[in-house]
Amino acid sequence: MKIGRRTALAGMIATPALARAQDTPSLRELARRAVIYLFPIYEMYRARWQATASEANPARQRLNRFRHITTLADPQTRAVSMPSGDTLQSFAWLDLSNEPMFLVVPPVGDLFYSYAFLDLFTDTFATVSHRLNGGRPPPQMIVGPSWKGDPPGEVALVRAPTNSVWLRGRLLVSDSGELDRLAILQTRVLLETPDMRNERRILETRELMRQRTQAPPEPTADWPAPQPADPFDILATGMRALGESLLSDRDRNQIQAFAPLKLAPGRKLDLRAFSDGERRAIRVGIEQGLADIRAAATRPARTVDGWSYAEAHLGNFGDDHLYRAATALTNLGVSEPAELVSIVGSADAAGRPLAGGHSYTLTFPANGLPPVRAFWSLAIYERMADGRAFFFDNPIARYAISENTAGLMHAVDGALTLYIQRQPPAGHRMANWLPAPAGPLRLVLRAYEPDAALLEGRYRMPPVLRNSSP
């Protein structure tokens, strides 16, 4: 068969278009995978921007400075879903691109404290806590991935994988009468630049640290605002954030796999490099990736008797990108299990969703309370239509029951039965009442410094039993 010049020319012209059409499914799949990988980074960027750069935030904070929350969460606390009512919290966003920072925690005795460092990928790469450091932790020197040098001899070196770090601190409040003292202790936890540390030590000990001729400029929070209405913003912002630091070989290889999407850390996303059909395919992939994350967030990792248990690699996710992304959606900045295990109850023993239109009992058998070295509490929340959950007003302003709740009544054999219902129970049961909202509810068991039985999944929460009448 003879092929004419016009036919051959037409084939040459059609070949690139055909190749792009064949590439469209792979672009769609690459975009889906890229969104799952970048979503936690995007959420960290968004949270950092909201905390430090948004002019609409009345509590906007400076970089490398603590923001202390000096009150416990209550029904008016709506910043995050399922707030903890057990701890006073402190937050700081660190920028380590210019110089190290020092964390100094004063002696705290037997008090539970935890200061966790999260990198841009949401991994907890270091923790200063009673579990690890006892009641007199040494000063910590936190440096970025490019820092070179030797730390002072009396401090512990913490090397961050990224220049941007989220520092989250907790002080346990086991008695509301201790709030004022603990709020003062919060302010004594120091976050210092080398110059600030030098000046303080000169005043306190007359000891002079190494001097330098000129201090680096103070970092400013001048990042562009995220644009959630732009479907491609997660790719653009993710690359902008990744360009702030040196990346590990693992993450460089991961990004290299997205090369057909023209993604490169620190480089602007140029959509003009794609045809209309390719842009549509990428957008479909982005939407599918976000849908996969939402679906994963609604599927508990392990559910037994209505209680959902997290995976052991929570907080240090490795290559489990979907679990990392789903956690960033529902519980950004979650604690690593060794410090705090949270078990979520959403259904009764028969698998029926918990709701305040029914009354329930939860019985811990003798010697069956959550095994912890520090503290446990069981909080109750009103579950909203969008899946978030918050404390709610109730007649006795009780949002949780803990091992330190005054007046709890135990059975003769040592068992502890809690009464979860909207109306007060009769008689002595009132001491063990956990008031319920009118509608859907959620229970959260928090175990601080959990024992091995909790960490290894051998301890199981008792089922919530629904009574025949409210």
Domains of the chain, by residue range, sit at 19-53+222-297, 67-205, 302-466
* Cβ–Cβ under 8 Å, residues 266 and 240: yes
DSSP assignment string, 96-116: -SSS-EEEE----TT--EEEE
Q: What is the pTM of this model?
A: 0.88
* Per-residue pLDDT, 8: 37
Does position 16 have pLDDT exceeding 80, yes or no?
A: no
H runs (alpha helix) in 53-178: 130-133
Other C-beta atoms closer than 10 Å to the C-beta of 270 total: 9
Rounded Cα distance, 149 and 73, in Å: 42
- The pair of three-digit structure tokens given for residue 373, joined into one six-digit string: 């070295």
* SS3 at position 313: coil
Beta carbons of 153 and 362 less than 8 angstroms apart: no
- Show the CA angle centred on residue 150, arms to residues 146 and 155, nearest 5°: 110
Instruction: Report the CATH number of the 19-53+222-297 domain.
Output: 1.10.3360
> Are 443 and 464 spatial neighbours (Cβ–Cβ below 8 Å)?
yes
- Percent of the chain beyond pLDDT 70? 92
Domain 67-205 has CATH 1.10.3470: no
Residue 222 and residue 364: Cα distance in Å, rounded?
51
Retrieve residue 268's tokens: 């602007």
Confidence of residue 114 (pLDDT cuts 50, 70, 90): very high
Q: Classify each residue of 223-254 as buried b or exposed e, where b means 16 or more C-beta atoms within 10 Å of its C-beta.
A: beebeeeeeebbbbbbbbbbebbebeeebeeb
Is the pLDDT confidence value at 1 over 50?
A: no
Helix count and strand count (H, E) for the chain: 9, 20
Pick among 2.60.120.600, 3.90.1150.10, 3.40.50.970, 1.10.40.50: CATH of 302-466:
2.60.120.600
Over residues 383-427, the pLDDT tens digits come to 998 888 999 999 999 999 998 899 999 999 999 999 999 999 999
**Phi, psi values for residue 285, rounded to 5°:** -65, -40
Average pLDDT over residues 102-122: 97
Residues 341, 356: Cα–Cα separation, whole Å: 25
| Among the ranges given (278-282, 306-310, 331-335, 411-415), the one the predictor scored with the smallest mean pLDDT | 331-335
